[in-house]
Structures are given as structure tokens and as C-alpha cells.
Structure 1
Amino acid sequence: MRNVVVTDPPRADLTTATALGEHGVATVHEAQGRTGYLGPAFRPAWPGARTGGTAVTALCWPGDNLMIHVAVEQCREGDVLVVATNSPSTDGLFGELFATALAQRGVRGVVLGSGVRDVAELHEMRFPAWSTAVSAQGSVKATPGAVNVPVVLGGQLISPGDVVVADDDGVVRVERERAAAVLTASRARAEKEEANRARFRAGELGLDVYGMREKLAALGVEYVPHAELPEGRA
């Protein structure tokens, strides 16, 4: 691994990232073809957290948060800090002091493929954080890594400047180059869901809203009165 800090990488448009965050993880994930989701292991430190911003990445060694300190300097308003380790780690690499420093810079949250701690304080601060573990295990500051290089979390390649959307459903990545198109698709999906929601409120069934009756017939599903079943059994 090359020990490098890449300064001022290109970022997705912040207005677009903000709008994607408002649509939320499930909508964005579906809108971009069910891709980019980091998986169910990434959970918010406190319920109700929600964000959308541009990625600043840090690659650390397990149990070592030196490069998070380095990454803080590279963060600016609207960013989300994304932290990976070069082998599995559940150590609490991030806590309230980091959150205080990042909040002062306008950073919108953090996503870690490791542990987070100081959960009560993060909740009180309303600083959004997602991680794969909660752990009081501390860390050292000894081993160089890299900042603003592509990293992999949950099987997803996240490059600096990509959009990161996160909420109670988890975390999804949108490639920087696709952000505008995915926002357009997310808006279309949200409009369609609102129309469907109105139909459900009016008492319609999903079978009709989604046009599934013909599909069921084509699949051979039969509706049979109970009285016509042999001995009352299917």
C-alpha cells in the first residue's frame, strides 16, 4: 500500500448529494438498479440518523486511527468520512472527539468498516455515524495508511468524491459520475411510489396496483373455493 494523501479530489455536486440523501438509501439503491448497497452489517450508531454527502476516504490499519486524524484535514463542508481498514477490525476507531472536529468542519457523518464508540455522546451531538461494530476498544496512532484513495466497504468500491447516502436502512454508494442520473431516477421512483401510496390509501390491493393478477395466472396460480377441494385440502 502506498502511503499517500490525495488532496482536493473531484467531488460530486453537493446539491445533488444532498437531494439523494433526502430520498434515502432504499430509494437510491433501487433507483440505480439495486447496486451500491454496503449490506446489513453497516448500522447507525443511533436511530434516525440520515445523511447524504461526498466521500473523503481513509485507509487505516486495524486498531490504528492515525489516518483518520490525517483525513480530518482533508474534509470540508458536505463531506462524509469513509474509513476502511486493510484487514478486518472491530476496534473503536472513531468517537466523540473526532465527531467534534468533523462537525466543526461541516462534515455530515462518518461510515466505518470497523467499530465506533461514545455512542451516547454521538447521539447527543446528533452526529451521524455508521459502523459494523460498537466497541470501547481503543486504538493507537502509529502506522501510516492512505487518504482519498479508493477503498472497499461491504463489497462496494468507494472512490473519493462519490456520493454516500446513509440512514436507518444502512449505507449506499453512488458513483460520482452517475450522481445526477441516479437523482433523476430517484425522483421518478419517489413520484411513482407517491402515486401508489395514494392508491393504497384508497383501499386498492398490491395485486392490482402492481398488475400482478395476470402474472399469477401465467404462473399457474389458481383460485379454488374451499368447498371444491378434495376432502377440504389443497
Structure 2
Amino acid sequence: MSPTAGLGLKPQHFAEAIACPAAGLWFEIHAENYMVDGGPRLAMLDALRGERPLSVHGVGLSIASAEAPDPIHLNKLTRLVERCEPFLVSEHLAWCSLGERCFPDLLPFPRSSDALRLIVRNIDIVQTALRRPILIENPTVYMELDGHDWSETAFLSELVARTGCGLLVDLNNIVVSGHNLGFDPTEYLCELPGHAIGEYHLAGHSRDSAADLLIDSHDAPVADTVWALFDEAVRRFGCRPT
């Protein structure tokens, strides 16, 4: 896959997506929107797959959970990946479920050595089921947590080394977390293992002025600070599907 530009697919934009003549265009889908047995969404996906490359971006594997990935969820994801043959599969470095309880957010965790061991196990389970490496996306963080043994960039680098996974580097997430936690986004970027980066994400964020937080809301144009960090990423690591 050449390092071209993609768009997140919304079903309401399907007609425009399949008719768009742009060279090199690809589409990213959220896996959980298509993990069904049939119906119009899969028909839409099959039609688009015949015209454009796809990437699959998961939001529900809960890869940073202390529990192993839910086998029913993972089986559905495996079937979807087999059906649409995406050129990339990715998931977030976060957790969103505990037992049978699911939470409507991607939640943070202490980057302890115990957490590292469990997440390595979870990534291995997923990659074995899918029979391919996946990309892990750096999270958005809103507050400091206690209990870290690793910096975020060192943790991501160690995941790459131990599992053979790649990284989906979300430049917006870096800017948002950098503002909220007070670190330099460019320094963070420089600490990542460039050879493992398989994709970049760009998105818009909003500001909660009362709390002086940036929110990863995806409801605004990409900010100038994110574009500048993207330029630095391309200069430092080269082009990637974006």
C-alpha cells in the first residue's frame, strides 16, 4: 500500500465515497460497526472493498485490560478481517470493558511492568487469531495517573519489541495529551521507534476552557499544531498512509 491519504468512512457518506475519483484514496472503518452477520452495512462494505483499499480500526478489543480479549468479539473481528482483507488493522492502547461491563470510553491505565506483560499477552492473542501484525494507537490522556514504571513512548517501544506489532501514531492525540499533561509533543514524537510506524492519524479537537483541557472530540478541523507535528513526523520518519 502506497503512503496515500485515507478518510474515516461514515455510512451516510457511502454514495460520495464510492463515487469519489481521487487517486490513491482509501477508507478506514470502525470494526465494531460492521461486525454483523449480514444486512446493508456488509453489502456497503463489500461494494466499497471492490473499489478502494480498506483499513480496519478497532475500538472494542480492550487491549489494555487485565483480562484476555473476549473470544466472541475477537472471532467477529477475525471474520470481518477475512471478509474485507484490509491492508492495515489497528486498535487503541486502552481498555473499555471489565467482565460483562462495557464502558463508553477508551480508558487509561498505569504503565506498570505487570500491565506490559498482560498487554503483550493480549496483543499476541489478537495477532495469532488474525494471523497478521496489528498497529497499536497511542492514547489520549486527560490527567496524570500514579503507578507508571515506563514512559508512554518507552512502553510503546517495548510492545513493538516484544510482539512485533506496529504503531498507529495519532498526531492529534499527542498534541492533546501534551497540552493536558504538560509535555512537548515534538520530544514525544522523537522518542518513538520510527521503523514501527505503519500509519498516521489526523483529527480535530476541542477545548474545555473551564478545565484548560483539550478534548479528542473529532468535531473540528485539524489544528495548526497538529499539522505542524505531522510535518515533523513526515520529515523525521517519512510518509505513511494517513
TM-score, normalised via structure 1 length: 0.30
Q: TM-score when scaled to structure 2?
A: 0.29
Higher helix content, 1 or 2: 2
